Structure 1
Amino acid sequence: MAKKRLQKKREAAKTSAFQAAAAKAETPKITTKKVQPIKVETTKTEPVKVETKKTEPIKVETKKVEPAKVETQKAEAVKVETAKVESAKVETKKTETAKVETTKAEPVKLENKRDDDHIYRERLARHLDELKWLYCELYQDNPYVTMHLNDLLKVLKKFYDMRNDALKESDLNREKDPTWYKRNDLIGMMMYVNAFAGTLSNLESKLDYIQECNVNYLHLMPLLDSPRGRSDGGYAVADFRKVQEELGTMDDFAALTAACHNRGINVCLDFVMNHTSEDHEWAKRARAGEKEYQDRYFFFDNYDIPSLYEQTCPEVFPTTAPGNFTWLEDLHKHVMTTFYPYQWDLNYRNPIVLNEMIFNMLYLANQGVDIVRLDAVPYIWKQLGTNCRNLPQVHTIVRIMRMICEIVCPGVLLLGEVVMAPEKVVPYFGTVEKPECHLLYNVTTMASTWHTVATKDVSLLRRQLDIISELPRDYVFQNYLRCHDDIGWGLDYEYLENFGIQEVPHKKYLNDFLTGKYPDSFARGELYNDDPRLGDARLCGTTASLCGIERFGFEGNQEGVDRAVRYDITLHAFMLSQSGIPVIYSGDEIGQVNDYSYKDDPEKSDDSRYLHRGKFDWKLAENRHDPATVQGKLFPVLDKLEHIRSSHGIFNSNVPIHTIDTWDNSILAFVRENDEEKFIGIYNFSENDKVAWINEEDGMYTDLISGREMEAKGVQIPAFGCYWLCRNKQ
């Protein structure tokens, strides 16, 4: 019996040894938390999907993105070496296990092939830690924050995979040239598609004219689906993935962006972040009583909490849409509506809202949008006891969006619409190390420019230029004179108080002058949201009408018209010579004046901003080569200024700028200087001929506009005139 027991122990030992040896002989398993074998593609695919069109490496993906990492630096397990092109040759003649051959046969030429998965993983790895940190910090009180973060990361990869080859190539090129938008060769134009061309397909047929205007940055005003009569000019979006039917389809839009890219034109589109239309699917489902969708907005059963918000939140439209909440009789609830009653504020405290809005942004980027304009971005985070503007969480969200763009679509820029007090604008650039927006509207300089037109005093404008000149050169502003919106008087009143100027009466003077109420004013504008209680109002009107072309044209005063055209040119010359990207409002290039027909349209008559949103006048545009017309006097000079700007590196954003004394409060002068050239811009904001008492003792200069040579000393300058003096230093 003892012998038998010994024999059984020996047999058991042999069996155990055999099993151990067999275990060692098996292929090593790369395991995840579920201790499964390596999963090669987790959806819809066969075990190893070998595609030859993109020659992608085997994708090792799991549900949580990170677990199964194929790292090329340590080159363990499956070696996917990117340094040596020939190492990973995937043959498909036999449908056996993928062969990785490094000897025999000719190397596969991958010079022009992208390793999309590797590119994505590198971009993700660059930002993943910070992205996780910021997201979890933002939603630290949400018990499902990890789940929402994983959902976000999973879908980001899908949007990257859906991005077409042309856009991915553009991304790579722009990653290699990160200063592509900071040079002097970008000229922008903003327009409404329906006003300019009627439809998206018709706009494509007008690209020759756009290029004749030297435009390679086309900003299309809101064109996504919005309800007629309750659209706020397209800023009440009912569907972020559908184009307004009268303009065309999303396919038409994608075709337009592709046509623009073929011509070297970048496309900018508004992304309305703060709110949706009450006709949006989320709003409809919220109105139907679905709690999940009500949580995507701000709903309250009574006025207790809204009343607390109202104590600290200013009104955006005090006359046309007073208050920040709207009572919904059908629901017996209050909903937050910072702008108009039909625009419901989104609740970004809900991570689903942030995720879904990011997905909408990426969808638009994949249609070919190069610049995403973040509309009303300072308003997106709400918190009791604050004014619900510019809160720290807003900057966290913008930083998250910036990183996501750099992961999925790094060729796309973020343009922040921050119409706030001067000190609130610059923080939206973030820091050089942790950037937020690529571009910001230079709203304070724009408002200060029109302030100078009304006061004929350049002191405030000079101060604003000095402030901007001290900012890091990496910060890029979008400069403009007019746009689709009104002019708000967000000026540096603390500085103006040094001269005895008080905010409320000064705003009234500015508005009186620029609406033509002040004696001898040449301007013709209209007020928007005039609030007598606060003595506040904003201004509407085209550049031509505010410069006097409308008034003197209707009066038949040719001398006045010529002077107004000269002023129009001077203001554009000033805008074009600033650091940043100059953007012209469509119609300004032909001196188009105010369109008062909006008053006859019941859907527009309550909104005076339609004064400068009129249809583009193609008959006037035909006059642009006739020197006897306003168009023929204006268009060719703007064309010349734009060509000068694009041909001189002195206008690059990284070139230092500083103002200089002219010893005349109505004349502004500043210097731009690099190793090759020195530029002096001189601008007369007075109706009288003047002398700019500058004293640059470094030789002769050439006026780039007229070709005249002169010294930069005691320069005589005509009323409302300008000079672009330049000296070659080499």
Structure 2
Amino acid sequence: MKRIKERLSFIYEDHDIDPIWQSIKERIAKTKTKSLKLRKQNWDERDLVLITYGDQFYEKNDPTLDTFKKMFDQYLADKFEIVHLLPFYPYSSDDGFSVIDYKKVNPKLGNWEHIESLSRSARIMFDDVCNHISAKSDWFQEYLNGNPEYQNFFVEIDPTIDLSAVTRPRALPLLTKFTLKNGEEKHIWTTFSEDQIDLNFSNPQVLLKMIDVLLFYIEQGAEYIRLDAIGFMWKEVGTTCIHHEKTHEIVKMFRDVVDEAAKGTVIITETNVPHKDNVAYFGNGADEAHMVYQFPLPPLVLNAIHTGNASALTNWAKELPPTGEETTFFNFLASHDGIGLNPIRGLLPEEEILAMVEDMKTEGALVNYKKNPNGSESPYEINVTYLDALNKRSDDDEIRVKRFLAAHSILLTLPGVPAVYIQSILGSRNDYDGVAKTGMNRSINRQKYNVLEIEEELINPITLRNKIYRELTKIIQIRKMEPLFHPNAAMEVLDLGKEIFAFKRSDAVNDSLLVVHNLSKEKVNITLTGSFRDVISGEKIEIDNSMSLDPYQFVWLKPIIN
């Protein structure tokens, strides 16, 4: 508790922090009186995350969380230990990320009893959308109505102030004009959209409210908590307003709070930014996030398979810092958002990034743009399902499956906890009807399914969905049984040719496993000698100096010690 007080003194140097500290202590004590589910400490090779919406599957008249649980129990429970439920609260836009009420479940999805029921099948990851709240929320409406309790909850800015230094993730205005009940006009900070009102953390009462939300989620069974858009949380005119030192201090305080209230709760920071800024949220390895998103991974794997050249992926992997016992990476290839490009700026030449974007637009992908400080625009993310991102529209299903599995072999074998998006394990294609319906590019990868229709495709052995589900399931289950895929097992990246992405995983007793991917469309020979067991097939392989890999073939090889 002493560290929390010290952090308060740093964040609010001009305030009397004793009342704030006392309120936090009392709120933590309240959580500790609850009968909380026993939490697993840290993670291991069995931990895989499924990313999904709570209304991913539907059937007539049933709460979608109830329907989801039935689908999960039947098709997914033996593959995934953790379910990341994307925001399931009442919302007004952005598919849940403009939260109206942090403490309610969207009635369409169900109620807290449905969340509790799902938590009996898997550990649950909640989203804490702590940077902003819906313009339709009670908090903001009370502000507009002049309630003094909420007058300093949001960031009012004179529109004549120079804000050109502020980092912009969208090609949208930073400020939005609102009219108060008394007729007064105010310009309010809205980083992401006019419906997503940034919270003012320079007001200690906002911090107290959000700590209350954080602990409420723990009380409702959250074992993993994702801090959404966390990098933008602290605003200071004259700075970039991203990754501010006080933002880091607040994340560290959140870590202190959950460690004090429910040790084993995992804090994950979502920062879609260049790699060095992303890993900064590990803090000193024991005082900030337990996990950070591995944002460079999706575009680097995509680029390697598109070009048949894994050099950039290899060079990046060589520089990955080892993680300690209290930290690891949160690895993913696809999510509810697009494939972010900012994390690979500096890892790939800009002209190569732009060429990849144009190639993918030709194949049907959509693109979102961000505004630069000089007023120009740059592509910010590619909107596409990962299956379609890897392939051309003219490709046949056999090559689609090969590329898709090669990409997911990388996801499953790198250091860290792997997360698979629901659309990926369902083998989903681009949903243009969804884009037309919502007007949002991101809807291309957010399709929702009638249970009867999706089940029919999943169980039909001739469909692409069945082939993806069956083959991806196979390597997931093998991965879960291999201790050398522990998230913190050491990795040594190997140079076996530009077409090859290869590395060795090893443990403290010198057991090792060699993972090799051919990411090109050509057969490739690699130099290798020894006796191995292929972990995937179970077969013994004798290699005398050279091994041939077919296009997009990958192998997991464990040396046989004579």
TM-score above 0.5, yes or no: yes
Please name the residue that 1:679 is paired with: 513
Deviation at 1:447, TM superposition (A): 2.3
Unaligned ranges ≥5, structure 1: 1-127, 518-522
Please name the residue that 1:418 is paired with: 271
Between the aligned residues of both structures, percent identity stands at 23
Deviation at 1:234, TM superposition (A): 0.6
Please name the residue that 2:125 is paired with: 268
Q: How many residues align?
A: 549
Please name the residue that 1:191 is paired with: 52
Deviation at 1:415, TM superposition (A): 1.1
SS in 1 for 2:468: helix
* TM-score, normalisation: structure 2: 0.92
- Cα distance between partner residues in 2 of 1:298 and 1:150: 26
Deviation at 1:654, TM superposition (A): 2.6
Q: How does 1:417-566 map to 2 (within 5 A)?
A: 417-432=270-285, 434-472=286-324, 474-494=326-346, 496=348, 501=349, 503=350, 505-515=351-361, 517=362, 524-529=364-369, 533-548=376-391, 551-552=393-394, 560-566=396-402
Moved over 6 A (4+): none
Deviation at 1:678, TM superposition (A): 2.3
| Aligned: 1:349 with 2:205 | no
Indicate which of 530, 546, 550 corresponds to 1:714.
546
Q: How does 1:2-41 map to 2 (within 5 A)?
A: none
SS in 2 for 1:255: helix
- Cα distance between partner residues in 2 of 1:625 and 1:246: 28
Q: How does 1:128-527 map to 2 (within 5 A)?
A: 128-142=1-15, 144-161=16-33, 163-164=34-35, 166-167=36-37, 170-171=38-39, 174=40, 178-179=41-42, 181=43, 183-197=44-58, 199-212=64-77, 214-227=79-92, 231-257=93-119, 259-260=120-121, 265-300=122-157, 302-304=158-160, 307-308=161-162, 310-318=163-171, 322-330=172-180, 331-432=184-285, 434-472=286-324, 474-494=326-346, 496=348, 501=349, 503=350, 505-515=351-361, 517=362, 524-527=364-367
One-letter amino acid of the structure 2 residue matched with residue 657 of structure 1: M
- With over 3 angstroms needed to count, the CA separation of the structure-2 counterparts of 1:364 and 1:726, relative to structure 1, is same
* TM-score, normalisation: structure 1: 0.72
Structure with the larger RCO, 1 or 2 (CA within 8 Å, 6+ apart)? 2
CA offsets 1:481-513 (integer angstroms, 9 cap, x no match): 1000111212454454xxxx3x2x333211112
Deviation at 1:251, TM superposition (A): 3.2
CA offsets 1:282-336 (integer angstroms, 9 cap, x no match): 2111101234312011124x423xx32x221132210xxx221111144311111
Which sits farther off after the overlay, 459-468 or 672-681?
672-681
- With over 3 angstroms needed to count, the CA separation of the structure-2 counterparts of 1:352 and 1:729, relative to structure 1, is farther
Please name the residue that 1:703 is paired with: 534
- With over 3 angstroms needed to count, the CA separation of the structure-2 counterparts of 1:491 and 1:274, relative to structure 1, is closer
- Cα distance between partner residues in 2 of 1:473 and 1:271: 24
Q: How does 1:21-100 map to 2 (within 5 A)?
A: none
- With over 3 angstroms needed to count, the CA separation of the structure-2 counterparts of 1:406 and 1:225, relative to structure 1, is same
Indicate which of 600, 607, 610 corresponds to 2:443.
610
CA offsets 1:149-183 (integer angstroms, 9 cap, x no match): 2122122212222x22x52xx04xx4xxx33x1x1
SS in 2 for 1:440: strand
Q: How does 1:602-681 map to 2 (within 5 A)?
A: 604-605=438-439, 607-616=440-449, 618=451, 619-624=453-458, 626-663=460-497, 665-674=498-507, 675=509, 677-681=511-515
CA offsets 1:629-649 (integer angstroms, 9 cap, x no match): 323432222222112111111
Q: CA RMSD in A?
A: 2.2
- Cα distance between partner residues in 1 of 2:206 and 2:370: 34
- Cα distance between partner residues in 2 of 1:146 and 1:632: 59
- Cα distance between partner residues in 2 of 1:249 and 1:512: 44
